[in-house]
Structure 1
Amino acid sequence: MRAAHRQTRVWVEEIMGTPMSVHLISAGARDEATTERAVRACFDELHQVDRVFSTYRPDSDINRIRRGEMALADADPRVGVAAAACERAEQATGGLFSGHWQGWFDPTGWVKGWAVEEASRRHLAPLLSSALAVGINAGGDLQLFTAPGADWRWHVGIADPHERGRMIATLDIADGAVATSGTAERGLHILDPRTGEPATGVASATIVADGLAQADVWATAAVVAGRTDHSWIGPSATRTGIVVDDDGAVTRWLGSTVIDVCEVSGSQAA
C-alpha cells in the first residue's frame, strides 16, 4: 500500500498530568463510530485509573491509604494488583525499583506504564481489524501495534539528553513499547529505593520491551543502577535499549548482550 493512500488520525487528551495521544494509521474505509468509541473508552479507563492512583488528588485511594484512612484491602481492586506487581518488580530488579521508594506505598513508577498498556490492548488493538497500525503516546512513552502482515513500521527517535532537538538513534518497531526515564528533563527526581538518595550518573535510559509496564520499570531501574552497573540488562529480558550517562557515554544492548559502550557526544549515532 503506497504511503499516499494512508491516513493518520490523532486524538489528544491530558491524563495523569501529561498529554496522551492516540495515533491511528489507516489505508481505507473504517467504522468511524467504532473508532471513536474505542479511543474514548481508552481515555476513560485511564482517567479512572488516575482517580484511584493519583498522588495529586487528595481523595485518591493511594492518598487515603497513605494517610491511614483506608486499608489496602478496602481500596479499588486495582490497588492490590499494583501492590503485587510492584513487589514482583522489586524482586526482579534487585531493589532498583520499588513501590515504596518514598518510604510509603506509591506505585507511580509502575501505574502509568501498566495502565496505558492495559487500556490500549483492551480498546485500541482491536481496531487493527480495519487499520494498519494504532499506538498511544503517554508523555513520550509508547505502546505500539501494527496489523499482522502490514508493512507499516513506527519510526521512534531517541533524543540526545545533552542536546535538545537532536536524535542519537532511531528505532523501527512494529509491535512493542518504548519507555524513557532519566534526569535530563526533570533533574534528580528519581530516588534510589535502597538509599533514599537521588539517582545520579544516568541522563536518560530508553528501554524497548513487549509491554509498557515492563519497559517503564526497567527504564527506572536503569537510571537507579547508575553509569557503571549494567548487570540488570540480562535479567530484564528487554528487547534492546540505550543508556546515556551524564558524561555522554552510551551503552546499547540487544537482548541480554551489550553491543557497545561508546562516546557519542557531538556525533550522530544510528
Structure 2
Amino acid sequence: MSSSEPRVWVETIMGTVVSVHAYGTTAFVQDAETAASVACAFDELREADRIFSTYREDSEISRLHRGKITLDEAHPLVAEVAAACLDAEQRSGGRFSATWRGWFDPTGYVKGWAVERAARMHLLPLLAATGATAIGINAGGDMQVGTAPGSDWVWRVGIADPHRAGEVLAIMDVVNGAVATSGTAERGAHILDPRSGEPATGVRSATVVADSLAEADLWATVAVVAGDDLSWVSAADSRSGMTVSDDGRVRRWMGATEVSVVTHADSAAR
C-alpha cells in the first residue's frame, strides 16, 4: 500500500460528527485548495441541514409541514429529494417511506444523500490533484470514499459487532464507493416499519456497500425493516452487505445473491 500522510478535519453537522480524511503527499494534504474544498463540503452539509432539518423551525421542511410554503415554493433540492424518496419507496416495496406519517419527512434518506452530494461536489474531484492518494467523508459511521487513479490504496472499513461492544465483526475493503450501517444496537428500536408504524425488530445491524452513500444508507435501513426477509436485495443497488440478527445469525450477500449464513460465534472467523 502506498505510503501517504494523513490529514483529518472534523465538524459537528446535522446532529452527528462528520470527518473528512485525506491521504497524499504533504503538499497535497496541506494545500490551501484542499482545505478550501473540505470547507466547502462542510458548508454544503450545513446548507442541507438548514433546508431539511426537522428540528429547525425555519427549515424548508418545517415550513412545508406547517403549510407556510408549498413543494413548488420550497428550495429546489426539496423537490429533488422528494422525488428520490418516492422512487425509494417504490423500489423498496414500501419498506422505506418519507410520507407514511402523513407529511413529508425525508430524515431517513437525506443524510446519506447530502453527504454523498458534498463528497461528489467538493471532495472526490481532489483525487485528480497532484499528490492525492485517497479522500473520504464519514458521517456518524456512514462514509463515501475515493481513491486516486493508479493508487493501490484500499479503504478498510471496520464493521462494529452489535453483540459485543468495542469489537469488530468484519472488515469491508472499498476502493471507491460507500458503506452505511443501520440498526438498533446503539440507539435501540428507533427504526420504524412505515407499513405498520411499529419498531422494526429482528435485525440488530445491517451494513450495505454500494457506489452511492444515498443508496447504501437507504438499503441498510430497509434491511433492518425487512428483518429476516432478504427478497429486497434483488432490487437494491448494492455491491454487497451483511445483516446481524438479534439471535446472532450473520447473513451476507454479493450483488443480488446471498452467499453465506453463519452463527454469530462462527462469524469471528470472517
TM-score range with shorter-chain normalisation?
over 0.9
Alpha-carbon shift at residue 28 of structure 1 (Å): 4.9
Q: Check if 1:182 corresponds to 2:183.
A: yes
What is the TM-score with the length of structure 1 in the denominator?
0.96
Helix, strand or coil for the counterpart of 1:8?
A: strand
For 1:179 and 1:2, how far apart are their aligned partners in 2? 26
Q: Check if 1:14 corresponds to 2:15.
A: no
**Change in CA separation of 1:101 and 1:166 when aligned onto 2, cut-off 3 Å:** farther
For 1:225 and 1:113, how far apart are their aligned partners in 2? 19
For 1:224 and 1:57, how far apart are their aligned partners in 2? 27
Q: Percent identity?
A: 59
For 1:29 and 1:112, how far apart are their aligned partners in 2? 32
Identify the residue that residue 143 of structure 1 maps to in structure 2.
144
For 2:249 and 2:56, how far apart are their aligned partners in 1? 39
Identify the residue that residue 86 of structure 1 maps to in structure 2.
85
Alpha-carbon shift at residue 29 of structure 1 (Å): 2.5
Residue pair 1:191, 1:224 contacting (<8 A) in 2 also = yes
Residue pair 1:101, 1:191 contacting (<8 A) in 2 also = no
Deviations 1:105-148 (A, max 9, x none): 10011111111101111100111123100000000000000001
RMSD: 1.3
For 2:25 and 2:269, how far apart are their aligned partners in 1? 33
Alpha-carbon shift at residue 33 of structure 1 (Å): 1.1
For 1:187 and 1:72, how far apart are their aligned partners in 2? 33
What residue identity is the alignment partner of 2:190? H
The aligned runs of 1:251-270 (5 Å cut-off) are: 251-265=251-265, 268-270=268-270
Unaligned runs of 5+ in 2: none
Residue pair 1:168, 1:269 contacting (<8 A) in 2 also = no
What residue identity is the alignment partner of 1:26? G
Residue pair 1:101, 1:192 contacting (<8 A) in 2 also = no
Q: Check if 1:71 corresponds to 2:70.
A: yes
Identify the residue that residue 249 of structure 1 maps to in structure 2.
249
For 1:91 and 1:153, how far apart are their aligned partners in 2? 34
What is the TM-score with the length of structure 2 in the denominator?
0.96
For 1:47 and 1:33, how far apart are their aligned partners in 2? 21
For 2:185 and 2:2, how far apart are their aligned partners in 1? 39
Alpha-carbon shift at residue 149 of structure 1 (Å): 1.2
Deviations 1:71-90 (A, max 9, x none): 11111110000110000000
Residue pair 1:199, 1:224 contacting (<8 A) in 2 also = yes
The aligned runs of 1:1-150 (5 Å cut-off) are: 2-3=2-3, 6-30=4-28, 32-128=31-127, 129-130=129-130, 131-150=132-151
- The number of residues matched between the two structures is 267
For 1:269 and 1:56, how far apart are their aligned partners in 2? 43
Alpha-carbon shift at residue 48 of structure 1 (Å): 0.4
Identify the residue that residue 203 of structure 1 maps to in structure 2.
204
What residue identity is the alignment partner of 1:230? L
Residue pair 2:241, 2:252 contacting (<8 A) in 1 also = yes
Identify the residue that residue 219 of structure 1 maps to in structure 2.
220
Helix, strand or coil for the counterpart of 1:149?
A: coil
For 1:65 and 1:143, how far apart are their aligned partners in 2? 30
Deviations 1:148-189 (A, max 9, x none): 110111110111101111111101110000001111111111
For 2:100 and 2:25, how far apart are their aligned partners in 1? 46
What residue identity is the alignment partner of 1:242? M
What residue identity is the alignment partner of 1:139? G
For 1:48 and 1:269, how far apart are their aligned partners in 2? 43
Residue pair 2:181, 2:207 contacting (<8 A) in 1 also = yes
Alpha-carbon shift at residue 2 of structure 1 (Å): 4.8
**Change in CA separation of 1:96 and 1:166 when aligned onto 2, cut-off 3 Å:** same
Runs of 4+ in 1 over 4 A off after TM superposition: none
Alpha-carbon shift at residue 39 of structure 1 (Å): 0.4
Residue pair 2:2, 2:153 contacting (<8 A) in 1 also = no
Alpha-carbon shift at residue 15 of structure 1 (Å): 0.5
Unaligned runs of 5+ in 1: none
